[in-house]
Structure 1
Amino acid sequence: MSMAADDIDRFEASRPRLEAIAYRLLGSAGEAEDAVQETFLRWQAADVGRIEVLEAWLTKVLTNLCLNQLTSARARRETYVGQWLPEPLLAGDPMLGPAETAEQRESVSYAVLALMERLSPSERAVYVLREAFAYPHREIAEILDITEAASQQIFHRARKHVADGRTRTEVDEATARRIVEEFLAAATSGRTESLVRLLTEDAVSIGDGGGRVPARAKAFEGAAAVARFLRGLFKPSKAKRAMAGGAPEVYAWTANGDPAVVAVVDGRVVGVMCLEITAEGISAFRNQVNPGKLDRATARWAAADHGEPLFTAF
């Protein structure tokens, strides 16, 4: 069934918002794009003349597609090799969505996306729609086919779950770069004690290799253990160069609004390390090295004015 050009334009005007919602719900840019495309196919097949409010209809279809995806994703992640982390988005990626408020920025932070894995699909949907996109509970209730009171209860429960695990401090881009540079100087100094001073006592380091790149299945916990791991990670070796496909160029950047280390080999992003910053120091390192979750980062990197690397690793 063919669709009028103006109807296609109406959908395309909504696509950025839909992709931003789907990414927050799924933690995967590729899956978010697929969910939005399926929403478009359903829009094509619908009797558009009977749809009164386009945004509400599209959001309902997309959200329910994502809820189905989240349910099946939980089963897949039970057999995932090692730790599962979201797909990182580099600064400037339109899929990051709105960033006018602290709540919007925080909802797409790497730390909060990881925390949202603890939520049920319905908790995640209500949290994202309310916290990141300011949907009224009345509209959320209509989208999810629940009562307005239930939406409010689910939101408060989800918000508490996220808040209980959150210690992040928001920093601007200049501060983020300074923190990353200071961290990298300590990590490459060869002295564990200089790294420990930057970390909180309960710091953790988590890596996602997806079974395709070596990454420890269990997180490193505690400042001393994390510092030893990071010192070893940045120690040059032929084996590391071979595994990465060359000597990575290392940049201070931001991903999902967090300070980040980006490692690039021949224009291909091979690793994104997001730092979680608190008033007491760096509390977490989340390292995405699964090649299957770095394609969009590589495409974004190619379009970015990233300047010269801080150094070449390994």
Structure 2
Amino acid sequence: MSNHSWLVEQFEAHRNHLQAVAYRILGTLSEADDAIQETWIRLSRSDTSRVENMGGWLTTIVSRVCLDMLRSRKSRREELTMDNIPELVTSHQDRSDPENEALMADSVGFAMLVVLEKLNPAERIAFVLHDIFSLSFSEIAPIIGRNETATRQLASRARRRVRGVESTLQTAEAELKRKRELIDAFIAASRNGDFEKLLTVLDPNVVLRNDTAFPPAVNTPVVHGSQAVAKQFTGRAHGAKPVLVNGSVGAVIGPLSHPVFVLEFKIVDDKITEMEMIADQARLSQLDLAILNDY
């Protein structure tokens, strides 16, 4: 086996773990993919003849790459907003690997990703690598350029900051759960043809905006009122599943990578007040879709 082939084999053997590390540090899979690509470039250019623990070595490299990316992000003063929340799972991720999907979904939920955005780069690296991936402080210290004591203090400070915003995030996650339950009820009622149940989840003055690219069966661009909207969705939504659409709860028909159409919802006082159906492929490609974890 050539050296290049051996490196490829080693890298692929650790790819899932590296992506899990990068995702938890960076918060988005798109950036995690960039970090994985940069890690491969550094691996391919390095002399690995003396590397005894390839997994540990690659974890160090991807963590350093992520640290550089976090520092670059901070220097551009990128702020986390509700229009740019961390991704739970990317819509473009290849879902063919169940193990990889599990790595992306377990142990770090929406609330934790938001908490991590509150930490500075060094705190974030120390916290993620120690508290989530169980690396020792002696292993983490060289990555962030601190001594072991300082690294321990960074992780401790990060832990306190996480606890400090925990109640706020629990409230946000509870609200997300309520919205998820409402959309689940809407999908079930639509699929089962339960007109009366649909009326209970729709605001009496709900507005539905249909995409003109949607199949000809849908002719009305805008539908007003719960009766008319419920009538349109009764007996439909087969195959629909709840997702995050640009950070808000929605629904998708078809695979995330190639959706047939997407429904965006506006929810006020536990009622659906606005809905938008998106079927145009150009618009669909611009949406940030993410799987909603079960609660």
- Return the index of the structure with the highest Cα Rg: 2
Distance 1:293 1:77 in 2: 24
Counterpart amino acid of residue 294 in structure 1: D
The alignment covers a number of residue pairs equal to 229
Choose from 188, 203, 206 the match for 1:190: 203
Structure 2 partner of 1:237: 209
Identity %: 28
CA deviations over 1:4-30 (Å, ceiling 9, x no partner): 423321111111110111111112212
Residue of structure 2 in register with 1:97 after alignment = 103
Pairing partner for 2:184 from 181, 204, 221? 181
CA distance in 2, matches of 1:187, 1:73: 44
Structure 1 counterpart SS, 2:33: helix
- TM-score (normalised: structure 2): 0.61
Equivalent position of 1:109 in the other structure: 109
Q: Following TM superposition, by how much is the alpha carbon of 1:82 offset from its aligned partner in structure 2, in angstroms?
A: 7.5
Asked whether the 8 Å contact 1:19–1:95 carries over to 2, the reply is: no
Paired residue type of 1:72 = S
Check the 8 A contact 1:262/1:271 in 2, yes or no.
yes
Q: How much does 1:83 deviate?
A: 3.2
Q: Secondary structure at the match of 2:208?
A: coil
Per the alignment, residue 190 of structure 2 pairs with: none
Preserved CA contact (<8 Å) 1:88 1:294:
no
Alignment-mate amino acid for residue 288 of structure 2: L
Distance verdict in 2 for CA 1:268–1:127, change over 3 Å: farther
Aligned-residue offset at 1:177: 7.1
Structure 1 counterpart of 2:152:
152
* 1: CA distance, partners of 2:252 / 2:16: 27
State how far apart, in whole Å, the 2-side matches of 1:189 and 1:137 are.
52
SS of the counterpart of 1:50?
Answer: coil
Q: Work out whether residues 271 and 294 of structure 1, in 8 Å CA contact, stay in contact via their aligned partners in 2.
A: no
Matches for 1:22-37 after TM superposition, within 5 Å:
22-37=22-37
Q: Which moved more, 1:58-67 or 1:137-146?
A: 137-146
Please report how far the alpha carbon of residue 97 of structure 1 lies from its aligned counterpart in structure 2 after TM superposition: 1.7
Give the structure-1-normalised TM-score: 0.57
SS at match of 2:251: strand
What is the rounded CA distance, in whole Å, between the counterparts of 1:129 and 1:236 in structure 2?
A: 46
* Cα distance per residue 1:1-57 (max 9 Å; x no partner): x73423321111111110111111112212211211111111111111022322222
Pairwise CA distance, 1:113: 0.9
| Structure 2: runs of 5+ lacking an equivalent | 188-197, 219-232, 271-282
Distance 1:264 1:157, change over 3 A: farther
Instruction: Give the whole-Å Cα distance in 2 for the aligned partners of 1:260 and 1:96.
Output: 21
Report the equivalent of 1:294: 288
Query: Helix, strand or coil: the match of 2:135?
Result: coil
- Unaligned 5+ runs, structure 1: 192-230, 274-280, 282-288, 302-314
> How far did residue 267 of structure 1 move?
1.7
Please list, as runs of the form range in 1=range in 2, the aligned pairs for 1:200-211 lying within 5 A after superposition.
none
CA separation in 2, counterparts of 1:262 and 1:143? 41
Deviation at residue 88 of structure 1 after TM alignment? 2.9
Cα deviation digits, residues 243-272 of structure 1 (max 9, x gap): xx54895945477xxx96433477257578
C-alpha distance in 2 between matches for 1:190 and 1:156: 47
Looking at both structures, which has the greater relative contact order when contacts are Cα pairs under 8 Å and sequence separation is at least 6? 1
